[in-house]
Amino acid sequence: MSLLSLDHKAVARRYLWSGLGFLLLGGLLALAIRWQWAWPGQPVPGLAWALPESRGALTPPTYTAVFTMHGLVMIFFAVTPLLFGALGHFVLPLAIGARGLAFPRLSALGYWVYALGGVLVLASFAVRLGPASAGWTAYPPLSTSAFTPGLGQTLVTVAVLCAGTSAFTYGLNFVVTVARCRAPGMTWGRLPLTVWGLFFASVLNVLFVPVLAAATVLLLMDRLLGTQFFIAGAAAVGGGGDPVVYQHLFWLFGHPEVYILILPAWGMVGDLVAFFSRKPAHGYRLTAGAMGTVSALSGLVYAHHLFTSGMSPLLGRSFMVLTLLISLPAEVMFLNWLMTLWRGSVRLTSPMLAALATMVVFGLGGITGLALGAVATDVPLHGTLWVVGHFHLTMGAASFLGVFAGLYFWFPKMFGRALHEGLAKVHVLSSAVLFLGVFGGQLAAGYAGQLRRLYDPYQYTYLKHLLPLNQWTTVCAFLLGAAQVVFVVNLAWTLRRGRAAEANPWQVGTLEWTCASSPPGEGNFTQVPVVLRGPHALSQPEVLERLGRDWIGQAEVLPGVARQDTAEDAVPASEGTVSTVGRVT
């Protein structure tokens, strides 16, 4: 499809390639950091051309740029575009029975704004003073021009605005699409959980990206125009501003952002676990409600990132309580997933393995967040690699594995070909194990006190003994990088010579699988489906009896049923009623 196509599937593909490209860049930057912690000051193999004066070794200024760009690239240019840009744009209209997004031109524009941001990010590497180096969080005053002069930081700040603008537009697009473009009979209660995840995440995008925009614009004005919003202390002129205001605004965006990055993955896990247990998701409404509750609370917990900033005790206590509270809906949702497996017929396909792996890493990551949510236990852990391990498990590993769960699941639909299932499973399992190795190693190092963002942790005596741990973690990281080659090989080979995929290889009932070809044509459906039931109508007795299979499409007419009515449940209410079939709202 041409680069100018407005079709949501074409836009999704653009995001997919860009996202994967930036994922590679972000991953390489991570490996550079890990190298430095394992072999401090040693030349990094293959980097001599980029760092000639040090013969390829990272220097302190280079190191600050590397960890900054790793975070920025991964969050704004890799994970988000893969989850929302690639998977979200592709799946959402199909799954709700729409012919496209509500605003196709806006979706195409959103991609190009994101791409512009990507270009700025890449350009910043070529700037003489280097790219951004104040951390992905870019706290002022460090990130103002007084302490980080140069074009690099400015370019990256503008790039973040571009990525944010893109997110706002597709967030709006998704919300309106779900609200207005659902096929007849597709009530809110019949939406796949993936759609719920994308919907809630889009609501958060739309509400909180403007807050990031405000913080970033004010910072940009401080950098370029000499304003004093965030400058205090010796660099301030005429009664300065307050750097803490930036922290509040940034994290008011930043915390919902981490939920934005995980909600689609949660939704996908909910669906995949049901599909590959061949039974309806346990507690569909409870899960959707839990996702909604987490979204609602997400903006109210943000200041747990500021526990050490000297906040008033009242604020500190309030945020502690709210932060701990958010674990309740997450636990409900997790238990629902586990209950879905129970008494199901579990099929360990590659998407299912990825979904289970997502559960494992997310569960572990979430648990390690509890100690960070209580102020007292946060004090020794704040700013250490425990925090890094926590968010890498939840945001890096879980979102990443969620992306791959989605890719492995929807690849046949997107490209009309089937990936090699064996290679896919090898990729998922090795990645999951190695994720645990790398981020578990980070947790351990952080617990022992290793602070973040240190070029050379070992010049602190109390951290000297962590060198062997860091080396081991680095080995895991390099192996993790190598494991991704399996995916690349699978992808490249399949696109070139893979066998054609069936229309519904996973044998599930959602609309993209039952009413559209692989890949779907323009307009997605030959005729708009009329939805009759929920997304997890699996192993239903009438279906087994009349059709001889354990699945039925959401819009499929069940022969022999007297009345097919979009306005009522087709399944009689009884003990063990399928709770996924909703009523018209």
Partner 1 sequence: MSAERNPMGDKAETRVDSTPHSTSGALGMKPLPSVSDARAEPSSLEASTSSATAETANAEGTAWLGTVLGLAAWSMFFASLAFAVGWYRMREPWPSLPVSLLGLGLTGLLLLTGSAVLHLGLQRRESPWPARCALALGLGFLALQAMWTHQAWWTEHVRIPEGGVSASAFHGLTALHALHVLGVTAGLFFVCWRHARGADVRASLRRHVLGWHFVTAMWVLLFVAVYLP
Partner 2 sequence: MSTSIEGKSQPSSNTSSATSARTLALPEDASVDGHRIDALLGWSHRFEAGMAALALGWMVVAVWRFRNAKRAASDGGTKRSRAWVFGLALSTFLVVDGALLVGSEGYLRDVLWNLQVPATDPRTVRIEINAHQWSWEARYAGEDNRFNTPDDVVTWNDLRVPAGVPVWVQLVSTDVVHGFSLPNFRVKLDAIPGRVNQTWFRAAREGSWEVACYQHCGTSHYRMRGELRALSQEAYVAWLREAGRQAVQAYDVDDSAAHWGWEWKAP
Q: Which of residues 442-471 bind partner 2 (CB under 8 A)?
A: 444, 447-449, 451-457, 459-462, 464-466, 468-469
Residue 207 binding: pick among partner 2, partner 1, none (C-beta 5-8 Å cut-off by kind): partner 1
Binding-residue total with partner 2 (CB under 8 A): 111
Rounded least distance, CB 577 to partner 1, Å: 24
- Binding-site string for partner 2 from residue 227 to residue 246, where x marks contact by CB under 8 A and - marks none: ----xxxxxx---xxxxx--
User: Does 134 help bind partner 2 (rule: CB under 8 A)?
Assistant: yes
Distances (CA, A) of 166 to 18, 173, 262: 14, 11, 18
Residues 304-323 that bind partner 2 (CB under 8 A): 308-310, 313, 316-317, 320-321
Amino acid in the structure at residue 391: F
Amino acid in the structure at residue 552: I
User: Does 42 help bind partner 2 (rule: CB under 8 A)?
Assistant: no
Rounded least distance, CB 209 to partner 2, Å: 24
User: Does 371 help bind partner 2 (rule: CB under 8 A)?
Assistant: yes
Distances (CA, A) of 522 to 1, 9, 108: 11, 9, 16
Residue 235: CB atoms within 10 A of its CB come to 14
Residue 101 binding: pick among partner 1, partner 2, none (C-beta 5-8 Å cut-off by kind): partner 1
Distance CA 40, CA 455 (A): 8
The answer for residues whose C-beta is within 8 angstroms of residue 545's C-beta and 6 or more apart is: none
User: Does 347 help bind partner 2 (rule: CB under 8 A)?
Assistant: yes
Burial class (CB in 10 A: 0-12, 13-18, 19+), 3: exposed
Amino acid in the structure at residue 511: L
Distance CA 381, CA 376 (A): 9
Rounded least distance, CB 191 to partner 1, Å: 13
Residue 296 binding: pick among partner 1, partner 2, none (C-beta 5-8 Å cut-off by kind): none
User: Does 545 help bind partner 2 (rule: CB under 8 A)?
Assistant: no
Q: Which residues are paired to 538 by β-bridges?
A: 551
Residue 252 binding: pick among partner 1, partner 2, none (C-beta 5-8 Å cut-off by kind): partner 1
Number of Cα atoms under 13 Å in the Cβ half of residue 384: 22
User: Does 194 help bind partner 2 (rule: CB under 8 A)?
Assistant: no
Rounded least distance, CB 459 to partner 1, Å: 37
Give the nearer residue to partner 1 in terms of CB position, either 76 or 168. 168
Q: Could you list the residues that contact partner 1 (CB under 8 A)?
A: 6, 97-106, 168, 172-173, 175-176, 179-184, 206-208, 210-211, 213-215, 217-218, 221, 225-229, 236-242, 245, 248-249, 252, 528, 584
Give the nearer residue to partner 1 in terms of CB position, either 8 or 425. 8
Between CA 450 and CA 28, with CA 361 as vertex, the angle to 5 degrees is 60
Token pair for 74: 């991964």
- If we measure between CA atoms, which residue out of 73, 57, 58 comes closest to residue 18? 73
Rounded least distance, CB 235 to partner 1, Å: 10
Q: Do residues 287 and 536 touch, judged by C-beta distance below 8 A?
A: no
User: Does 548 help bind partner 2 (rule: CB under 8 A)?
Assistant: no
Q: Could you identify the residue written with the tokens 């969620």?
A: 402
Rounded least distance, CB 200 to partner 1, Å: 14
Left (φ > 0), alpha (ψ -120 to 50) or beta: where does 361 sit?
alpha
Give the nearer residue to partner 1 in terms of CB position, either 322 or 528. 528
CA 330 to chain centre: 16
User: Does 421 help bind partner 2 (rule: CB under 8 A)?
Assistant: no
Rounded least distance, CB 247 to partner 2, Å: 8
